[in-house]
A and B are shown apart, each in its own frame.
Chain A
Amino acid sequence: MPHPVATTDAPAPRAQIQARTLRTDRWWLSPLVQAGALTVLLGYVVVRLFMREYYWVDQFNYLTPLYSPCLSEACTPGSAHFGTFLPDLPVWIPLPIIVFPILLGFRATCYYYRKATYRSLLLSPQACAVREPHRRYSGESRFPLVLMNSHRYFFYAASALLLINTYDAVQAFFPRSGGFGIGLGSIILLANVGLLWAYTLSCHACRHILGGRLRHFSKHPIRYRLWSLLSRINGKHMQFAWISLVSVTLTDVYIMAVSAGWISDLRLFN
């Protein structure tokens, strides 16, 4: 027989190609931008958490969503709409000690942010078909990442917070001076709440709980309609995730600026 014949019985190795990836496009760009954006925004939020001031504009009932609801005795008078369950907290504990973990947890366990952080910060994988640097990988099958499955509770809690934020946004239309009033701040707060609702309702857990878990849509026509609607906005979840994150930040910046007196609120009506 003139030609060699290989056997297939032994498990054969993969093609010997050393390159980490043969991709020729700029696959590193998007994880880099994401990592940058996430770091900057998170850094800003942490700084703001420890600032303990400029989160409340008494004159116009503006409360930044980062501090809402404010529940400590240390809260600026007037800003604690739901009572002060917590005592005066030491400086090293941020005032939104209940609120912030919920917000952070909601976003950290969000299916979209998981994708973004796994890719851009944990590099597993940094981009598709680009070899990841880790020797071993068990993903979300084990502790700690198995905790990501708690997303649903954060969804419940964050939805409750969002109701409070909505209340805050409505309050922002009723300034201290009485009556109804519109300022740039109240519009910003309202828009921000709208975007937060878009983000929260387009959540995968929400889509599942309200309809996706059903096996026979035909027996639940209303939930099916709801599910179809949620599925449509779910397709834009990534966009809502970024837009709402930026909008929360900008809302906070605006309220800080007004509260600190760096600018004054642009009043449109009353």
Chain B
Amino acid sequence: MTEVQRHDYDVVVIGAGGAGLRAAIEARALGRRTAIVCKSLFGKAHTVMAEGGIAASMGNANPGDNWQVHFRDTMRGGKFLNNWRMAELHAQEAPDRVWELETYGALFDRTKDGKISQRNFGGHQYPRLAHVGDRTGLELIRTLQQKIVSLQQEDFAATGDYESMIKVFAECTITELLTSAPTGAPGSAGVIAGAFGYWRETGRFVVFNAPAVVLATGGIGKSFKVTSNSWEYTGDGHALALRAGANLINMEFIQFHPTGMVWPPSVKGILVTESVRGDGGVLRNSEGKRFMFDYIPEVFADNYATSEDEADRWYDDPENNRRPPELLPRDEVARAINSEVKAGRNSPHGGVLLDVSSRLPAEEIIRRLPSMHHQFKELADVDITAEPMEVGPTCHYVMGGVQIEADTAAAVGVPGLFAAGEVAGGMHGSNRLGGNSLSDLLVFGRRAGLGAAYYGIRLNGHRPAVDEAAVEAAGQRALVPFAEVAADAGPGVTGENPYTVHMELQQTMNDLVGIIRKADEMELALKKLEELAQRAARVEVEGHRQFNPGWHLALDLRNMLLVSVCVAKTALERTESRGGHTREDFPLMDAQWRNVLLVCAGATADELSVTHEDQTPMRQDLMDLLELDELKKYFTGEELAEHRARAPR
């Protein structure tokens, strides 16, 4: 086996997005030597792309806001499938996490009295999103990055070495989590002992020995053709967790943002922010009709306008008019656009038209939506102050992820493994509210850092040893794509191009497990995925190990395929529609399914199992935060027996 670099740390954080950096800050604060490992350069993680804001009930814009209201909104948004304990912690702690950022140097937009300004967003009852123009994610990542640097400066002053306590391993990809060698003693196997990866720059292998690993690797969007996600989103963390023995939950729930760019082809999927509609933008089909009025679901009928006149009055007078249907929740709008396109009423390039040009004066558009104006001008030659944008749904966020214990962010089933951010599941239930992800990163990033630090401290120096056989195996597996496919592999069998396999995977997921799902299509998808997995095993790359994107993609493919199978299998299993999961053959929400989590386990696609698990019943005091009438829409009668409205006085 080739030479392997070795490093010893107390905590290894995989991922340098909001969740990973916040975890590392906390672990270092508790005196743990911490490594941050990420696939791209430091400060480039996907979190930079977030635009709208961070949800936290600070009550700066409306003093009526508090954690209870935020909790309610989050549960509603997730159609009550959320892990209620996570939603509770999230709502309670988000304000502190945001205020803390200010002490790191963050500069949010301000209110008149000098506090952090908060903006409205879909599903949030009060203006709640702390923001910096439309580049909040950049501010978040830069602030945390600079906080890490400041901790390194403190360490330098104390020890003469910037990296004595926190080191960033940038452009280093983890391909395997390492567990301790089974000793036969009960409970000794399957304990985290470290991680295996390679330097993208040199192709050299690296092993981290560490008793605690935090997964903060983000999402899975690159398995879909049309997505707002970056190349990093290959589901690595999801797959690593599965292979280490952890569970994934809620994988059937994927958020499709209704408005992504559709043209030109090369930018298809890039996000068009929700603020466009919030600021007056309307959706029209090829016949010029504001079609959203035809798509107001029964449950929302009371809250949304039924005529254009009323909808237009809402912007100036929200008290006496109902909201325009363009502002329905993301899943509703995405489905409506999809139907219009299917019915042939699409815009020239297969989307619908989103128009602000006829609604606001040009200067106003440029002032409120600077980056959208810039984005369309630069990338599509479209002047949004003069013509409508063409938009269509785009894969945006995965609600599913590693099953964790809410308080510690510890992965269920694998001691030493922790997960936070988009890679963790449960917090958002079946659908995430805008702004709730960035706050999730901070709240559970911190908790994962704490969890990992204390876990290590409690081990009291008994660090599990890495299974050397697994290191050997990981190294060999990583080099497979360089081996030529043997001539005797079979008639007509040749090496596969990783880019081709990837494109076919994206097409398959997009067409068959996309925004609207059907049993037969998903069965077909599973067959195709199996076939693609076989082809992926024969992928052959040219060149050598030094910064070779073809090779990197070949290794990522394995993770994308495994995670895609999870998505397809759970989506097939859940025979209802809820949040980010829509079945054409089961279009209704079913209260019997509300309590059911679909749990994926298994290290390979063949071993992958999907089991049903009941949710822990929600604590009564939290239940009582909601009105019985609303809960009745989601819960079964027995589940509500103890509600305050029913309890004897």
Name the A residues within 8 Å of B545 (CB-CB). 3, 5
A16 at interface, CB cutoff 8 A: no
* CB nearest to A2 among chain B residues: B482
* CB nearest to B1 among chain A residues: A1
User: Contacts A1-B2, A2-B482 given: A7-B202 contact, CB under 8 Å?
Assistant: yes
A-facing mask of B438-482, CB < 8 A → 1, else 0? 000000000000000000000000000000000000000001001
Name the B residues within 8 Å of A177 (CB-CB). none
Q: How far is the CB of A215 from chain B (nearest CB, A)?
A: 14
B167 at interface, CB cutoff 8 A: no
Name the B residues within 8 Å of A1 (CB-CB). 2, 479
Taking chain A's interface residues, is the majority helix, strand, or loop, or is none over half, making it mixed?
loop
Name the A residues within 8 Å of B543 (CB-CB). 3
Contact call B544/A4, Cβ cutoff below 8 A: yes
Contact call B546/A5, Cβ cutoff below 8 A: yes
- Which B residues, 546 to 588, have Cβ-Cβ distances below 8 Å to chain A? 546
A6 at interface, CB cutoff 8 A: yes
Q: How far is the CB of B6 from chain A (nearest CB, A)?
A: 16
Q: Give the distance in Å from the alpha carbon of A6 to the alpha carbon of B479 in the complex.
A: 16
Contact call B544/A3, Cβ cutoff below 8 A: yes
- Which B residues, 185 to 204, have Cβ-Cβ distances below 8 Å to chain A? 199, 201-204
Contact call A5/B482, Cβ cutoff below 8 A: no
- Which B residues, 514 to 552, have Cβ-Cβ distances below 8 Å to chain A? 543-546
A138 at interface, CB cutoff 8 A: no
Q: How far is the CB of A13 from chain B (nearest CB, A)?
A: 16
Identify A6's interface contact among B2, B482, B546, CB under 8 A. Answer: B546
The total of interchain contacts (Cβ-Cβ below 8 angstroms) comes to 23
Name the A residues within 8 Å of B202 (CB-CB). 5-8
Q: Which of A5, A7, A8 has the most CB of B within 10 A?
A: A5
B-facing mask of A212-248, CB < 8 A → 1, else 0? 0000000000000000000000000000000000000
Name the B residues within 8 Å of A4 (CB-CB). 544, 546
Contact call B482/A3, Cβ cutoff below 8 A: yes
Q: How far is the CB of A10 from chain B (nearest CB, A)?
A: 12
Name the A residues within 8 Å of B546 (CB-CB). 4-6
Taking chain B's interface residues, is the majority helix, strand, or loop, or is none over half, making it mixed?
loop
Q: Give the distance in Å from the alpha carbon of A74 to the alpha carbon of B431 in the complex.
A: 88
Name the A residues within 8 Å of B2 (CB-CB). 1, 5
- Which A residues, 1 to 36, have Cβ-Cβ distances below 8 Å to chain B? 1-8
Q: Give the distance in Å from the alpha carbon of A2 to the alpha carbon of B482 in the complex.
A: 9
* CB nearest to B3 among chain A residues: A5
Q: Give the distance in Å from the alpha carbon of A4 to the alpha carbon of B548 in the complex.
A: 12
Total interface residues on A, using CB and 8 Å?
Answer: 8
Q: Which of B2, B479, B545 has the most CB of A within 10 A?
A: B545
- Which B residues, 478 to 504, have Cβ-Cβ distances below 8 Å to chain A? 479, 482
* CB nearest to A9 among chain B residues: B202
Q: Give the distance in Å from the alpha carbon of A7 to the alpha carbon of B546 in the complex.
A: 9
User: Contacts A1-B2, A3-B544, A3-B545 given: A8-B201 contact, CB under 8 Å?
Assistant: yes
Q: How far is the CB of B625 from chain A (nearest CB, A)?
A: 39
Q: How far is the CB of B170 from chain A (nearest CB, A)?
A: 12
* CB nearest to A3 among chain B residues: B544
Q: How far is the CB of A6 from chain B (nearest CB, A)?
A: 5
Q: How far is the CB of A134 from chain B (nearest CB, A)?
A: 32
Q: Give the distance in Å from the alpha carbon of A119 to the alpha carbon of B272 in the complex.
A: 42
Name the A residues within 8 Å of B479 (CB-CB). 1
Contact call B203/A3, Cβ cutoff below 8 A: yes
Name the B residues within 8 Å of A8 (CB-CB). 199, 201-202
Q: Give the distance in Å from the alpha carbon of A1 to the alpha carbon of B479 in the complex.
A: 9
Q: Give the distance in Å from the alpha carbon of A257 to the alpha carbon of B202 in the complex.
A: 74
Q: Give the distance in Å from the alpha carbon of A5 to the alpha carbon of B204 in the complex.
A: 7
* CB nearest to B484 among chain A residues: A2
Name the B residues within 8 Å of A2 (CB-CB). 482
Q: How far is the CB of B396 from chain A (nearest CB, A)?
A: 36
Q: Give the distance in Å from the alpha carbon of A266 to the alpha carbon of B204 in the complex.
A: 83
* CB nearest to B110 among chain A residues: A218
Name the B residues within 8 Å of A6 (CB-CB). 202, 546
Q: Give the distance in Å from the alpha carbon of A209 to the alpha carbon of B612 in the complex.
A: 70
Q: Give the distance in Å from the alpha carbon of A8 to the alpha carbon of B482 in the complex.
A: 22
Name the A residues within 8 Å of B482 (CB-CB). 2-3
Name the A residues within 8 Å of B201 (CB-CB). 8
Q: How far is the CB of A64 from chain B (nearest CB, A)?
A: 45
Q: How far is the CB of B202 from chain A (nearest CB, A)?
A: 6
Name the B residues within 8 Å of A3 (CB-CB). 203, 482, 543-545
Q: Give the distance in Å from the alpha carbon of A145 to the alpha carbon of B482 in the complex.
A: 57
Q: How far is the CB of A18 from chain B (nearest CB, A)?
A: 24
Q: How far is the CB of A219 from chain B (nearest CB, A)?
A: 12
- Which A residues, 186 to 229, have Cβ-Cβ distances below 8 Å to chain B? none
Q: Give the distance in Å from the alpha carbon of A1 to the alpha carbon of B475 in the complex.
A: 11
Q: Which of A6, A7, A8 has the most CB of B within 10 A?
A: A6
A-facing mask of B36-58, CB < 8 A → 1, else 0? 00000000000000000000000
Q: How far is the CB of A11 from chain B (nearest CB, A)?
A: 14
Q: Give the distance in Å from the alpha carbon of A8 to the alpha carbon of B5 in the complex.
A: 13
Name the B residues within 8 Å of A7 (CB-CB). 202
Name the B residues within 8 Å of A5 (CB-CB). 2, 202-204, 544-546
Q: How far is the CB of B364 from chain A (nearest CB, A)?
A: 21
* CB nearest to B205 among chain A residues: A5
Q: Give the distance in Å from the alpha carbon of A169 to the alpha carbon of B545 in the complex.
A: 75
Q: Give the distance in Å from the alpha carbon of A3 to the alpha carbon of B545 in the complex.
A: 7
* CB nearest to B203 among chain A residues: A5
Q: Give the distance in Å from the alpha carbon of A5 to the alpha carbon of B547 in the complex.
A: 10
Q: How far is the CB of B114 from chain A (nearest CB, A)?
A: 8
* CB nearest to B201 among chain A residues: A8
Q: Give the distance in Å from the alpha carbon of A8 to the alpha carbon of B479 in the complex.
A: 20
Q: Give the distance in Å from the alpha carbon of A4 to the alpha carbon of B482 in the complex.
A: 12
B-facing mask of A119-134, CB < 8 A → 1, else 0? 0000000000000000
Q: Give the distance in Å from the alpha carbon of A100 to the alpha carbon of B404 in the complex.
A: 77
A-facing mask of B304-322, CB < 8 A → 1, else 0? 0000000000000000000
Sample of 16 A–B contacts (CB below 8 Å): A1-B2, A1-B479, A3-B203, A3-B482, A3-B544, A3-B545, A4-B544, A4-B546, A5-B2, A5-B202, A5-B544, A6-B546, A7-B202, A8-B199, A8-B201, A8-B202
Q: Which 7 A-B pairs have the closest CB atoms?
A: A3-B544, A3-B545, A1-B2, A6-B546, A5-B203, A5-B202, A5-B545
Give 19 new A-B contacts, CB below 8 A, not counting A1-B479, A4-B544, A8-B199: A1-B2, A2-B482, A3-B203, A3-B482, A3-B543, A3-B544, A3-B545, A4-B546, A5-B202, A5-B203, A5-B204, A5-B544, A5-B545, A5-B546, A6-B202, A6-B546, A7-B202, A8-B201, A8-B202
Binding site for B on A (CB under 8 A): 1-8
Binding site for A on B (CB under 8 A): 2, 199, 201-204, 479, 482, 543-546
